[in-house]
Structure 1
């Protein structure tokens, strides 16, 4: 349990959605010890998200590409952190993710067993996936005493990202938004096509929403720009913002939307933490494992015999888990709120 004034370093995950879910751990640490100082080792891209979390006091950017060992970068970062923290919590289960706390000589280093990290961690926890059956529960558990974590009956606070009203006003002016009530669409999913609802369905839904008087904001990164064009081209009041906004901007733009229609993706978790009602579309993944952490969500999941397969592409070649999830069903859910 955190002590008064304890300095805690958390090695954060490498995905947008996981970083949002990590706020549940930060909230738990802060609630149990309001005087604790929380630092987060994280990829540089995640700084705008972490800066929207009131519980995070410091971000230590790790300038290493995803999947890279980056020995020199980790050693430099560890050197800058040496002597500044009492305890480290390592959320990823990889060997390399435990290097920075070890090299920084942080006295207590907590994490789940995995990839032969015996020398790097000195508070090693076994992971019971039947008890800790969600990613967010696993994150929170590492911040609790081992006996309490093992029971799995602890509270999981929901993420909540701060909105920047001045930035929102600037974005609305820059992109000529806000003439109509806004609905967000997030067609991307970094993991693969087995998590991506058909673009033709997004476009059909956008057409119906515009006809009902809505504005549609298509959000995503540069890789989603082409998908955004497929949805938005030729449609009035549909704005393709993919690749045209920063990650921090997405927080504000989503907080300004009535609802968000989204694949199981990082931006789904951003939308939930921004306070937007979420229409969550699940294909190869499971809402039981990575649900949107909000009470204001509708889950669209067909639970076919072949689901969830957790594959990047459909192993059966049909992706019926998403192709049979019709735009009319989602439109009805949007209208019922």
Structure 2
């Protein structure tokens, strides 16, 4: 088995955006032992990452670097992927005797690389997720980056949920800081006005370092600034319902943990470092000098031009106002045919008609089903789509999501991982704490625990779908 090293980046936001590249490297080396070399401050971010086998702490200063080089030599790495751009990363890999060294040919380190990736100024004008992913893609052009999910274990999610249990839902997370400089910070008094408005609807938690609190005396505002480790921050953030932030490391943690967010951009560009795809909303300045990418400015007109009403209205558009029932498919809505792959084996349970009562009570009906038979080449993906469409067209389901991946791929969408419900939350403004997960397996119950919904297991909590409806109606009337 080959040993492969990845030199991670040094900044929190970059580390999140590099996750698809790390997973891409795993696809290139599916049978290798992969180690990640990273600064200690980012260790917590990678300790849950299933695509790597171990995390090695990078030790700064001369003595620390010598120690790191000796440690790397002992492990006899065959190849090093240098996601960090610095000359130092290439030099350490070279001195550690790693025979193959891959990275962008920049910062005067080209001669130290055995597989230099040609660098041009235009390469920094693509989104940073794509920038980092270019490194593994050079070896397999068919690779494409996945979403940079971060998935804390359910036990750590539950500990964070316990810390927040006394707060009124929904909970808005606010991160008013940004280490890059004041040009990335929306004005403090505007953050405070948003917070005061939101406390009329729910609660607010503030995240950041100890200097980034908002100094608000309000029992509905809890200040976590300077009080959390990185892993605690990730877990607490994942339990919030919304996030309001600048372009910052916490913004990247927000979309990576699936929190619908409003991100405010001034001197920087969302095209380069913004939330990917469906993560929420970006509010940016229309000032002609933005983005300037400066960390200091005497005027900061870009941030001052963004008013409170614009941000408040964007928050209201993401407000978690919908209740949903998430249904497993095979064994819950229809007979489990052991990889349903033809219509002759499709047998729907007659009690499904009772789900109309949930629709009439204001619940969204959303299917979430693991379909690894697609990746196993047992089931045609189009057949899965056709079956799922039937539930939408005939039985009033609002959406039907499926995971096509093999269990060994470690994807974020395969239950009990929360990817499918999180996508649905983005699309439909769902309040998980007022929602349900219905299934026939332990994975469905674990999914409910993951997202903080109530789980109902057929065969244990209810005999059939009709009893499921009765349980939910009793809860509503309680």
Q: TM-score range by the shorter chain?
A: 0.7 to 0.9
Residue correspondence of structure 1 range 114-263 to structure 2 within 5 A:
114-130=106-122, 133-145=126-138, 148=141, 155-174=144-163, 177-211=166-200, 213-224=201-212, 228-230=213-215, 233-263=216-246
Contact conserved, 1:75 with 1:103, CA < 8 A, in 2? no
Instruction: Say whether the 8 Å CA contact 2:157–2:238 is kept in structure 1.
Output: no
1:292 correspondence with 2:275? yes
Which of 319, 330, 335 is matched with 2:300 structurally? 319
Q: State the SS of the aligned residue for 1:19.
A: helix
Identify which range, 168-177 or 186-195, moves more after superposition. 168-177
Unaligned runs of 5+ in 2: 319-478
Is 2:170–2:203's contact at 8 Å kept on the other side of the alignment? yes
Of 65, 71, 74, 1:80 maps to: 71
Deviation at 1:57, TM superposition (A): 1.4
Larger RCO (alpha carbons 8 Å, 6+ apart): 1
Structure 2 equivalent of residue 18 of structure 1: 14
Q: 1:146 to 1:304 in 2, by over 3 A?
A: farther
Report the Cα offset of residue 327 of structure 1.
Answer: 1.7
Aligned to 2:92: 100
2:104 aligned to which of 112, 120, 126: 112
User: Alignment partner of 2:263: what SS?
Assistant: strand
Residues in 2 aligned to 1:114 and 1:174: alpha-carbon distance in whole angstroms: 45
SS at match of 1:89: strand
- The Cα of 1:180 is off from its aligned counterpart by 1.9
User: Would you identify which runs of 4 or more consecutive aligned residues in structure 1 move more than 6 Å?
Assistant: none
Mark the CA change 1:166 to 1:177 in structure 2 (over 3 Å): closer, same or farther: farther
Secondary structure of 2:55's aligned partner: strand
For the pair shown, which has the larger CA radius of gyration, 1 or 2? 2
Distance 1:31 1:119, change over 3 A: closer
Per-residue Cα deviation, 1:107-148 (whole angstroms, up to 9, x for no partner): 100111223214422211212343561222121111232684
Secondary structure at the aligned position of 1:222 is classed as: coil
Determine helix, strand or coil for the equivalent of 1:96: helix
Alpha-carbon RMSD across the aligned residues, in angstroms, is 2.0
Q: 1:276 to 1:294 in 2, by over 3 A?
A: farther
| Matched residue SS, 2:38 | strand
Residue 333 of structure 1: how far off its partner (Å): 1.0
Give the TM-score normalised by the residue count of structure 1.
0.88
Moved more, 188-197 or 71-80: 71-80
CA contact (8 A) 1:26 1:38 kept: no
Q: Which whole-Å CA distance do the structure 1 matches of 2:172 and 2:8 have between them? A: 30
Mapped partners of 1:192, 1:253: distance in 2: 25
Gapped regions of structure 1 (runs ≥ 5): 65-69
Moved more, 264-273 or 110-119: 110-119
Q: Is the 8 A contact 1:172 1:178 kept in 2?
A: no
TM-score, with length taken from structure 2: 0.63
Deviations 1:231-251 (A, max 9, x none): xx2122111100111111111
1:292 and 1:265 map into 2 onto residues whose CA distance is: 11
How many residues align? The count is 316
